[in-house]
Structure 1
Amino acid sequence: MRRLQYRYLTAALAASLLAASSASAETLYIEAGRLIDGVTNDVRTGQCLTVARDRIAAVGPCGAAPEGATRLDWSAFTVLPGLIDLHTHLADLGQSADLAAPIKASPAETALVGARNARVTLEAGFTSVRDVGTYRGLTDVALRNAIERGDVPGPRMWVAGAYITIPKGGGELNGVIPNEDLPSDMRLGVAATPDEAAAKTAYLLDQGADFIKTIATGAVLAIGTEPGAPELTVDQLRAVVKVAHSRGKKVTAHAHGAEGIKNAIRAGVDSIEHASLADEEALQLAKTHGTWLAMDIYNGDYIDEIGTKEGWPAEYLRKNRETTDAQRAAFRRAVELGVNIGYATDAGVYPHGLNARQFRNMVRYGMTPMQAIQSATGRAAEEMGRDDVGAIVPGRYADLVAVRADPLADITALEKIDHVMKGGMLVR
């Protein structure tokens, strides 16, 4: 009860502050104790941020607040850009032992679950996400639009709409009913030929997808597919890339196996999800092409522990064991080679709001704390091709987090965010 009362009190105080800032030309003057900007290696003290409406207007040494501005004292905190997760599944039910769960939930119910997921993700300090697919196609588009309208609280979302996958591939809901009998919104991206892949890509973009997610290999969490086995062909992948790039949109590829990773890179995709079984040739190819890797090196532990406890399919648990350690070794080597790496967790496999747990593994497997932070701020924005998020510099959205502990001394400090701001609005 006390915790609930505290949350209500915090919300009321935040509302009062926001009302005050709105009444004073919507300007905030934020005093940071330590400032990490997300793009440089500097840690600055004595810095103040001027926030005008939803953007950062200025960053510089503290002094007198601009006339009419509301001063916000975060001098006891390290202030960073709002965090970015490049691999989430907000608009979905989450992983469980029940293979049929996605089909049991209606699109409306799935969207409502997504709204809850969005709120807890934002409160955890992740002010932007790339949402990389949902079984109920286009539910993510609806959730993104609701957040943008202000109907529900949540992070900025860039969404895929659905998976481009072969029939019965890693992007299908296999093992429940015959795939041909699945609802049509669960098969929006199923493609058997290059022409079908191109057509499905165009359709998803027409329906509001921000980028395209392809399934280049089998999946760990899909019945009847193997992570090391290629699925979409090079020609299919090229057809997707051609359509998406012609519209200025990026393409990412779910790819665990080395051959599928190389197929996707040679086809021109912009990023690879998972990259669990990447060999030296695949990593060197990624470095040569500038292809980004989005490697979820935390959730293997969660799948093994909770999946075993809850009775997830034995096939899932076996494939997870076969990929977890290999993926972490590939991650370490990718860091050594200087391959582009963005922060990507696969939240939805484990509970939303725990996204920051991956930071500790990124440091454990080769990154410095600053590199890990940048992977979820400036570097993540770079991977998405965005110049409006991910950094504390003038002109970008005033998406900020504040932590009392020093994340450079203990990266797990980011698992306990004290304050969150999105677009100049205090979330908590």
Structure 2
Amino acid sequence: MSRLAALLLSTAATTAQAAEPLALQCGRLFDARAGKVLGPHTVVVREGRVEHLIEGHADVAGFRRIDLTAHTCLPGWTDLHVHLGSQSGPQSYSEGFRLDPVDYAFRSVGYAEKTLLAGFTSVRDLGGEVAPHLRDAINQGLVKGPRVFAAGKSIATTGGHADPTNGWNHLLSHLAGPPGPTEGVINSPDQARQAVRQRYKDGSDVIKITATGGVLSYAKSGDAPQFTVDEIKVIVDTAKDYGYTVAAHAHGTEGMKRAILAGVTSIEHGTYMSEEVMRLMKQHGTWYVPTIYAGRFVADKAKIDGYFPEVVRPKAARIGALIQETAANAYRNGVKIAFGTDMGVGPHGDNAREFLYMVEAGIPAAVALQSATIRAAEVLGVDDQGVIAAGKRADVIALAGDPVQDIEAVLRVEFVMKDGQVFKQP
């Protein structure tokens, strides 16, 4: 099926599902622009969009009323760093040799629905060949899930964090041959350009690079720089040709500096972020996506014998434990922060726990909520979501409680609407 045909099917499905006009009577409403919880409001929804936002509780003629008067309504959240095609566990490394892409695709269906029902109406999937296909299936109404902005295969260098042949023995490597730009592995500016064009051919929405080593890859270093500035700059410039932004996985200081100077949109994880890096990020307007959840998860699992291979275990223990402190420092230094979890490292559907860890790090609850709404929309480069306002997408969730006063309320999502369609309600 062509991408145009898929888009037409998506539009038809969404229109049919969201045809019923609704009036959501909210006890409180989170204003994502101001970062404040307001009093009672009625959100009037028609054909997948917010038609009106009315102060107080109003009965609107011709619109079915949904009673959320005991709840706080918020814009649907966005998680800017997920991997819907997988979920880590002690068998993850061997499964790569036993499972086919279709196995990961079937698993992703359940992961996507869990994510949506947890209140995340949009995600940016940063690495996984399943994601573009899952996105299309969700858009066509075939499965339930969030709006997906898919990177497809991450771009790496030979032996880098996203080299798919890391850990292979000599025979397997010889039979498969060295991966190249088609597989997302590059070693020159020309190959970098080809890799971005391949992601365009594959139908990606965003580009992901692994600017440094990583925690869970089968390799020794978790923080060494793995691209030259010229290679990253070619990726960024080519990405712009196709309207893409670039997200850079990076733990080490030098790799972050190179990525920022080359013009990436966001730094993911940022474990060893120095004051110099923070100054560069503010100077270049670079976003920071901390993924505290993943750091805490891997640090905890590193204590369990056999959960990770021995080459991975010390990285997980050392790097994972630092990310929350880095997020705290970045906030205090005025770095722009947006929400992401790296879910798939931990169990899908548990994404909202990142809010708790952000608040523990000293980030105010309202700022944390903005990071997953209006700020996430800015990172994505879209202006039709992230706030509840007339003309915007009708992505609305509702919680039992006031999350600005009690951040644990984010774990009590009882209503989920995406594009005007209700997926969960009290």
Q: TM-score with structure 2 length normalisation?
A: 0.90
* Residue 124 of structure 1: aligned partner: 118
Amino acid at match of 1:234: V
Q: 2:132 aligns with which of 131, 141, 151?
A: 141
Distance 1:179 1:383, change over 3 A: farther
2:376 pairs with 1:380: yes
Distance 1:158 1:225, change over 3 A: farther
2:181 pairs with 1:214: no
- In 1, Cα distance between equivalents of 2:352 and 2:50: 24
Deviations 1:108-147 (A, max 9, x none): 111111111101111111110000002xx3x211110000
- In 2, Cα distance between equivalents of 1:298 and 1:247: 32
Q: 1:355 aligns with which of 342, 346, 351?
A: 351
Counterparts of 1:292-311 in structure 2 under 5 Å?
292-309=287-304, 310-311=306-307
Q: 1:278 aligns with which of 259, 273, 276?
A: 273
2:151 pairs with 1:160: yes
Counting aligned pairs with the same residue, the percent is 37
Q: Is the 8 A contact 1:169 1:218 kept in 2?
A: yes
Q: Is the 8 A contact 2:181 2:195 kept in 1?
A: no
Distance 1:259 1:62, change over 3 A: same
Q: Is the 8 A contact 2:87 2:346 kept in 1?
A: no
**Residue range with higher mean Cα deviation, 224-233 or 334-343:** 224-233
Three-state SS of the structure 1 residue aligned to 2:331 is: helix
Distance 1:75 1:64, change over 3 A: closer
* Residue 407 of structure 1: aligned partner: 403
Residue 224 (structure 1) shift: 1.5
Residue 366 (structure 1) shift: 1.9
* Residue 7 of structure 1: aligned partner: none
Counterparts of 1:387-402 in structure 2 under 5 Å?
387-402=383-398
Deviations 1:74-98 (A, max 9, x none): 0000111111100000023534344
- In 1, Cα distance between equivalents of 2:218 and 2:124: 25
Amino acid at match of 1:100: S
2:320 pairs with 1:324: yes
Deviations 1:363-412 (A, max 9, x none): 11121000011111111111111112211111111111111122112212
Amino acid at match of 2:138: I
Q: 2:108 aligns with which of 101, 111, 114?
A: 114
Q: Is the 8 A contact 1:228 1:257 kept in 2?
A: yes
Residue 206 (structure 1) shift: 2.1
Distance 1:25 1:260, change over 3 A: closer
**Residue range with higher mean Cα deviation, 207-216 or 303-312:** 303-312
Amino acid at match of 2:349: G
* Residue 175 of structure 1: aligned partner: 167
Q: What is the aligned-residue RMSD (CA, Å)? A: 2.1
- In 1, Cα distance between equivalents of 2:423 and 2:294: 27
Three-state SS of the structure 2 residue aligned to 1:388 is: coil
- In 1, Cα distance between equivalents of 2:182 and 2:213: 17
Distance 1:363 1:182, change over 3 A: farther
Amino acid at match of 2:76: G
Q: Is the 8 A contact 1:278 1:327 kept in 2?
A: no
* Residue 336 of structure 2: aligned partner: 340
Which residues of structure 1 form unaligned runs of 5+?
A: 1-20
- In 2, Cα distance between equivalents of 1:38 and 1:96: 39
Residue 180 (structure 1) shift: 5.6
- In 2, Cα distance between equivalents of 1:204 and 1:409: 43
Q: Is the 8 A contact 1:250 1:269 kept in 2?
A: yes
Q: Is the 8 A contact 1:276 1:323 kept in 2?
A: yes
Q: Is the 8 A contact 2:45 2:52 kept in 1?
A: yes
Residue 200 (structure 1) shift: 0.8
Three-state SS of the structure 2 residue aligned to 1:342 is: coil
- In 2, Cα distance between equivalents of 1:363 and 1:25: 38
* Residue 9 of structure 2: aligned partner: none
